[in-house]
Chain A
Amino acid sequence: MTTGAPAGGSPPARREPPASVHTGLLRIREELPAWQAWLLGLVPVALLLLAWVFVTSGAAEERVISPTILPSPSEVVASFPLLWFDRALTRNLAVSFLRVVEGFLLALVVSFPLGLLMGSFTKVKAAFTPLTIFGAYLPIPTLVPLTLSLFGTAELQKVMFLALAFSIYLVPLFVAAVDAVDDTYLKTAYTLGATKGQAVSRVLLPISWPEIWQAMRMGFGVGWSYILLAEMVDVGRGIGGIIITSQRRGPREHIYLVLVIIVVVAFLTDKLWAVAGRWLFPYREAKR
């Protein structure tokens, strides 16, 4: 193999890639064994933890960051039993999780057909695009009082608020998924005599399914970022209520603990989505 860039008359398209692209620490799109991927994933987490320990070690007054702002990892861990027992972590977590699921399902009922229609029919898309753009720029917190006056203060309001937030996020992604279906498939279908309905139900939908699934997987996480807003009213139960309460009267530890727990839950649910996706669309995982 030659190295460097020999100037020559050979056509550029045929040129052998320089060997350097296959060597060195960082290689573009290299195959990575699973254990390496895991290990590399752990490094930033470990560094973050180390930094956390560093800025929060020592007596309260000698720390880089005061415990009244950021408690140390050990303090956070030590407050776990209090969160688990006195503040009924699991029950509140279950309540919040259920709300997210309900809001998500409700959002699907509206956003899935809408997204499919918008992706398929240009006129529908033209009609609803301004609305989705408006939604994308809308500061979601301003919707809290609105949902209050429409849906009261109980469970319905929280679910509806989450459904609204989910829909705003999901519709553009669904549209993009349907949009991404290559025209060749449609043309082939028409050649074979497919009707409009068939083109949507037999071509556009099945081909965009994996992308739609991917959009749902990403969208599901969004609910957790809005749970705090959703649970601002009638704070009684739910994981958002724990954060709001801890901000006001402590312990600070629980704020960070709940954040960590939300991350863990999000990670686990995301893995579930991935597993389900592999099972539903095995061909998507096939090597391209």
Chain B
Amino acid sequence: MEEQPKVGPTVLGKLVLFLFVLACIAGAAYYFRDLLAPGGRGGGKQVDLDEFRKVEAPDTKGITTVSEYKYVPGEKLPPVKGVSAYKWDAQKVVSFPINVWIGWLPIVAANGGFAPNADSIFAKKYGFKVNLKLIDDPVVARDAFAAGESHVLWGTLDMMVLFAPDLMKDSRSAPRVFQQVDWSSGGDGIVVRGAIASVADLKGKTIVYAQNSPSQYFINNLLLNAGVQPSSVKHKFTATAFEAAAAFVADKSIDACVSWAPDIYNIPEKVKGTRILTTTAEANKLIADVWAARADFAKDHPDVVKGLVAGIFDGMDRLKDATQREKAYQWMAEGYGMQADEVRAMAQDAHSTNFAENKAFFVNANDPANFERTWKNVTFVYRELGLLDTPVRFDEVMDFSVIQELDKSGSFAHQKDESRATFTPTSYKKMSAESPILTQTIRINFYPNSANVFEPQHDESGKAVANTLYDPSVAATLEKVARLVGQYERAVVAVVGHTDSSMKGKGTRFEDVKALSTDRAEAVKQALVKKYNFDPNKFTVEGKGWDDPADADDPMNQALNRRVEISVYPPEAK
């Protein structure tokens, strides 16, 4: 072969050059990796569990059972600007989307079915019609609401927390919550596999649930309350609760799922080795179903909004009658395209909240599971999970004006609070034979040898200083407990006091220490009962003295040992 005169690099040279350029690009990409492919935010972050209790600005005055909000809702709600942008005509038909959920039974009963009709309570008593539409997908419901196609948005309060910031970008579609329809009461639950006995056992395990849904709030609130870092659990997300249940059944490597009835009850029956960890039958004041009206609609038609609220309460009255109730099941079945039996089977999933319960939810500032506390608790959980950038204040969404008006007129004074569980006194021994759903450890700094949670500070001579507290954060600590105990309204609670062992073997008698720890637990119980109006029989009290160190591997860690443990037990099987 003859040598051809070549210009430029050889093949090898080209290859080397190419590799060099490639290496340069790769090197630059690696150097700027945080800029080119940032890791994102949320997840893996440690939640400050002490912050969890500071959700509420503590009310140190305390010790009143009912304290109503003094402000006028209109002062805090964002004003509506511009021209109203919803569909409305002389027919006066409110477009009210609902999902498949038994909590809507009162409005179905009041409306006499799904279609707008002249025989409904709304038409006869309040002069407008209601069109109930099945829109099960929350995203579609939200979009129809934002577009003004529907006047109302269904949802749980935790969904509203996530929806609100975006909807409020347009003051007309800002959601106004006027009424609570129900508490989820057995409709949501957590199913676990294997040896998981309590929430604390979920540490290091894999759970699956629908993201941005009540399921996410349910499980993460539970984890935080049990002192388990959400980041210490492996979260798998699905788009719907149905898929979460399906994924749990299909994938044996998943240890728990959060889903809805009927799946949560079907799975343990059909899949061996699974059981229910807890449901909203116990956490019966955690997930609140509400509806919100568009702000522009509420502003233009306060009478219609008032009629909606009152009509739903009328529907609850109507459901007291057995034949009316059967009729409502039938209507609901037709609207959902289900069988009446299927609808009847959902009856236990929710507890309808009547006027008295709405009053407690909206206007009683001291109710441990009211709107404000629920909203703030949801906001805290979601913000810590990195899901919420610009949270909305509760009073920018909550409008208790209608409930207040109805209270003044006394129209529903006959509806008494039916949600309060009744308890029979039980012993700690009997209760603790079962394993608790979760245990929350709190620390209250008691003055030495005192069992007074509100003990003032003492000066050098040992004299009490007025208007001071030995433990300044005691109100916030109690608030944290109250929220948990309030959410688990139907469950029984053990308050167990522990002391340190610093005086062990120094002449102090164990009986005295045990008595002191019992007194301290009792004091915590009394403080809760007084401020938040809990049933005293909900609690049992036990003092363990120094017998039960917090950390078995480090029994002399006295700071850890001085503590009170709040354990939530499922209500006794009847």
Contact = CB atoms under 8 A, between A and B. Distances in A.
A252 B169 CA distance: 11
Interface in B468-518: none
Nearest to A234: B236
A153 interface: yes
Contacts of B146: 66, 68-69
B388 interface: yes
Contacts of B143: 69
Interface in B204-247: 208, 211-213, 235-239, 243, 246-247
B333 interface: no
A88 B83 CA distance: 39
B366 to A, nearest CB: 31
A68 B39 CA distance: 28
A148 B165 contact: no
Interface residues of B, number: 46
B238 A85 contact: no
Contacts of A252: 166
A41 B163 CA distance: 38
Interface string B245-285: 01101110110000000000000000000000000000000
A258 interface: no
Interface stretch (B118-126, B170-178, B406-414, B449-457): B170-178
Contacts of A154: 251
A87 B39 CA distance: 8
Interface in A69-95: 69, 84-88, 90-92, 94
Interface stretch (A54-62, A164-172, A205-213, A268-276): A54-62
Contact of A60 (B139, B170, B251): B170
B433 interface: no
Interface in A11-46: none
Count class of interface residues, chain A: 35 or more
B559 interface: no
B166 A153 contact: no
B37 A153 contact: no
Given A69-B147, A233-B247, A62 B212 contact: no
A85 B211 contact: no
Interface string A237-256: 00001001101111110000
A113 interface: no
Interface in A217-266: 232-236, 241, 244-245, 247-252
A233 B238 contact: yes
A184 interface: no
A232 B243 contact: yes
Contacts of B212: 245, 248-249
A10 interface: no
A249 B237 contact: no
A235 B246 contact: no
Nearest to A82: B389
Given A90-B36, A148-B247, A250 B239 contact: no
Contacts of B40: 85-88, 91-92
A236 B39 contact: no
B237 A234 contact: yes
B166 A249 contact: yes
B70 interface: no
A241 B239 CA distance: 9
Given A66-B146, A244-B239, A153 B254 contact: yes
Interface in B372-419: 387-388
A248 B138 contact: yes
B209 to A, nearest CB: 10
B166 A68 contact: yes
A200 B500 CA distance: 86
Given A145-B243, A235-B237, A153 B251 contact: yes
A62 B165 CA distance: 19
Contacts of B237: 234-236, 241
A84 B38 contact: yes
A149 interface: yes
B83 A61 contact: yes
A281 B340 CA distance: 64
Contacts of A248: 138-139, 162, 211-213
B426 to A, nearest CB: 41
B85 interface: yes
A60 B166 CA distance: 12
A149 B413 CA distance: 52
Best-buried of B143, B213, B239 by chain A (most CB within 10 Å): B239
Interface in B187-215: 208, 211-213
Contacts of B85: 61, 66
A248 B162 CA distance: 7
Given A69-B146, A148-B250, A241-B237, A249 B388 contact: yes
Best-buried of A61, A69, A85 by chain B (most CB within 10 Å): A61
B90 to A, nearest CB: 25
Nearest to B161: A249
Given A91-B40, A94-B37, A232 B172 contact: no
A91 B37 contact: yes
Nearest to A147: B250
A60 B37 contact: no
A258 B146 CA distance: 21
Given A232-B239, A249-B212, A88 B37 contact: yes
Given A61-B171, A66-B85, A85-B38, A250 B246 contact: no
B41 interface: yes
Contacts of B37: 88, 90-91, 94
Nearest to A88: B40
A277 interface: no
Nearest to B33: A90
A67 interface: yes
A181 B81 CA distance: 66
Contacts of B213: 248
A235 B239 contact: yes
B208 A153 contact: yes
Interface string B139-155: 10001001110000000
Contact of A59 (B82, B147, B208, B235): B82
B167 interface: yes
A61 B388 contact: no
A88 to B, nearest CB: 3
Given A61-B172, A85-B38, A85-B40, A233 B211 contact: no
A88 B41 CA distance: 8
A246 to B, nearest CB: 9
B41 A86 contact: yes
Best-buried of A59, A68, A148, A236 by chain B (most CB within 10 Å): A68
A131 B206 CA distance: 38
B207 to A, nearest CB: 12
A270 to B, nearest CB: 23
Contacts of A150: 250
Contacts of B251: 152-154
25 contacts: A61-B83, A66-B148, A66-B170, A67-B170, A68-B167, A84-B38, A87-B40, A90-B38, A91-B40, A92-B40, A94-B37, A145-B243, A148-B243, A149-B249, A149-B250, A153-B238, A153-B254, A154-B251, A232-B239, A232-B243, A234-B247, A235-B237, A236-B237, A248-B162, A248-B211
Interface of A: 59-62, 66-69, 84-88, 90-92, 94, 144-145, 148-150, 152-154, 232-236, 241, 244-245, 247-252
Q: Which 10 A-B pairs have the closest CB atoms?
A: A61-B82, A88-B40, A250-B166, A248-B212, A235-B237, A68-B146, A249-B162, A90-B37, A232-B239, A153-B247
